[in-house]
A and B are shown apart, each in its own frame.
Chain A
Amino acid sequence: MARKEMMPGQKRFTAPAILGDVAILAWFVFSLFPIVWMVMLALKTPAEQTTTYFKFSPTLENFVTVLSERGTLLTSVDFKAALISSTINCVGAVLVSLVVGIPAAYAAGRWKFRGSDSLMFNLLSFRFAPELMVIVPLFVIYNGLGLFDTTVGMIWVLQLVTMPLVVWILRSYFEDLPEDLEQAALLDGYSRKRAFTMVALPLVRPGIAASALLAFIFAWNNYMFPLILTNSGSVTVAITKFLGGGGQAYYNLTAAAGVVGALPPLILALTIQRYLVQGLSFGAVKG
């Protein structure tokens, strides 16, 4: 690309270029060190939990403990149960978001209708709304309705995280899809519904996958909803319980739980890297 030649610090092996590489390297040490440290801490034996060595013989003992009955007895946190309920809640929330969000995204992407902008803006405004504003009344409502610490309750509230994301990402996918394709299908005698399911939907499959995975990551990483509306029924809440509270802190168990809890988002992020930027800014301030 010719343009690159004009960018600052482009020429190789000049002083600014080397300085730039050093700066970038420094950032990546800063960026990766905490993750490496957490993994190391998770691999140390319990006896080594307060040491600062970099040389040790790694063991998987902590992972076994965290995921077993023993870990539960030590810390009174059932991490395995939290892992399972986080998975169910997040997958459930994403599925509901897709079922509900795809039609809305299609409507908003294809037609300009009265209220479409305000529907979209309200969806986006939830992205910026402080969670506690809705959580406190929800907490009271949930206690009244018996939804506290239930799957239905969590799926409902996680919609706040997942649905806006799904709708905003998919709306731009549907907008970018040439309408002629569906018109052609209609002229071939397809019904509008079939034109949508047979033509439009398959074409936005990458968008659906990306938005679903990103929505899952955000739901998984959420802390405040499960903190208030469940009893440590999520990975993020369970992890903080390892840090102590009962007087005793289990540092390497905390680290092991942290590694396990961070794995699903990290793996998903690496698989959808290509779509991440668009998803993260999700239609940013479009319209």
Chain B
Amino acid sequence: MSTRQHGAMRSADDTVGGRQAPTVSPARRKWRPYILSIPATVILIGILYPFVQGVGYTFLNYRATEGNVHFIGLSNYLQVFTEPLFWGSVRTTLVFAIVATVLETVLGVIIALLLNRSSLIGKIFEKVLILPLMIAPVIAGVIWKLMFNPQFGILNHIFHLGSTFDFLSEGRALWSIIMVDAWIYTPFVAILVLAGVRSLPKEPFEASAVDGAGWFYMFRRLMLPMMWPYILVAVIFRFMDCLKVFDIVYVLTQGGPGHATSTLQVNAYINSIINFNYSGGATYMFILWIIVYLTAQQLVKLLGRAQARAAGSEA
């Protein structure tokens, strides 16, 4: 794992293949990678096409009920931006994404550090850690829905909450969904960070131990800065995925009660698929896509800097 991980963290510049076989003419050599990429590109275009079409929808008044579909410019955007429902779902999505990402990152780092010890418990639990991550989010949602049931859910029974306590009530639903998300994805953060911790060089730790540094000092000054790129990779993946959360929300609450859990993608689904307002849904989606894209760009930049710094501190 560790050598590969280092490979994955390398910058693109030092991995250039460059050299080619002496037996083939330069012209064929030049085209080879393109020819090899053609099939993948074809599939890519096959999927890019609907994407572009989806963006096109945002400028139309396309609904299943509308016979006369035509260009309406930015009206959809103007309408969306004046909808309280839209801003509500932006808020819900951000609260969900930020709280879930922070929670999963903190818990994941703690779990990774605890598992890093070579105890027997750590070895056994490392194997089962990933199980929730491998179950389909929908199935996870179904399990939790059964456990959340106020009448015969096991949680109300174990914690003596009575049948009036509802985990999926308007005030609690979002937090319950965050808990389910943390149940599924904390292991993801934990295994990425664990792999990172294990590939750290040991010399700086030995040196500062000789100097008499305490573990907290080492954690803060050595481990955390070196682990930062790994943590950031996990944060990027979690935050991006949380922004477009759908499966678990749809299974647990379908965006309700009221609009308490209607995230952007859930709202887009209700718009497009349930209410047949294709343009409205596409507009939600395109705005979400822009948010995801811009956030990803910023986070990747941050990651590049963190990797450069970590490489500096390792040297």
Contacts and interface: CB of A to CB of B under 8 A. Distances in A.
A276 interface: yes
B315 interface: no
B152 A277 contact: no
B86 to A, nearest CB: 15
Interface in B13-40: 15-19, 21-24, 32-34, 36-37, 39-40
Name the residue in B50, B110, B139 with the highest tally of chain A Cβ atoms < 10 Å from its Cβ.
Answer: B139
B218 interface: yes
Contacts, number: 330
A112 B293 contact: no
Given A2-B202, A186-B23, A266-B135, A172 B1 contact: no
Contacts of A160: 47
Interface string B281-313: 110011011001100100010010000000000
Given A31-B183, A100-B39, A107-B33, A129 B51 contact: yes
A55 interface: no
A59 interface: no
B114 A4 contact: no
B137 A221 contact: yes
Nearest to A111: B33
A101 interface: yes
A4 B206 CA distance: 10
A123 interface: yes
Contacts of A175: 7, 15
Contacts of A1: 118, 202
Interface in A187-204: 191-192, 195
A182 B21 CA distance: 9
Contacts of A25: 121
Contacts of B107: 27
Interface string B38-69: 01111110111011011001000000000000
Interface string A152-196: 000011011001000100001001100100110010000110010
Nearest to A283: B8
A281 B54 contact: no
Given A24-B122, A103-B40, A34 B147 contact: yes
A81 interface: no
B136 A3 contact: no
B72 to A, nearest CB: 17
Given A107-B33, A133-B51, A240-B138, A6 B215 contact: yes
A286 B8 contact: yes
Residues of A in contact with B, size category? 35 or more
A243 B15 CA distance: 51
Interface of B: 1, 3-5, 7-12, 15-19, 21-24, 32-34, 36-37, 39-44, 46-48, 50-51, 53-54, 57, 107, 110-111, 113-119, 121-122, 125, 127-140, 142-147, 151-152, 154, 157-158, 183, 187-188, 191-192, 194-195, 200, 202, 205-206, 209, 215-216, 218-219, 233, 236-237, 240-241, 243-244, 246-247, 250-251, 264-265, 268-269, 272-273, 278, 281-282, 285-286, 288-289, 292-293, 296, 300, 303
Given A35-B132, A96-B43, A265-B134, 9 more contacts: A4-B117, A10-B117, A107-B37, A119-B37, A128-B293, A130-B288, A160-B47, A163-B40, A191-B23
26 contacts: A9-B117, A24-B111, A27-B107, A34-B147, A34-B183, A52-B152, A100-B40, A101-B40, A106-B36, A111-B17, A115-B34, A130-B288, A132-B281, A133-B54, A133-B286, A135-B50, A220-B136, A223-B246, A228-B273, A236-B136, A236-B139, A251-B146, A269-B130, A269-B134, A273-B127, A277-B5
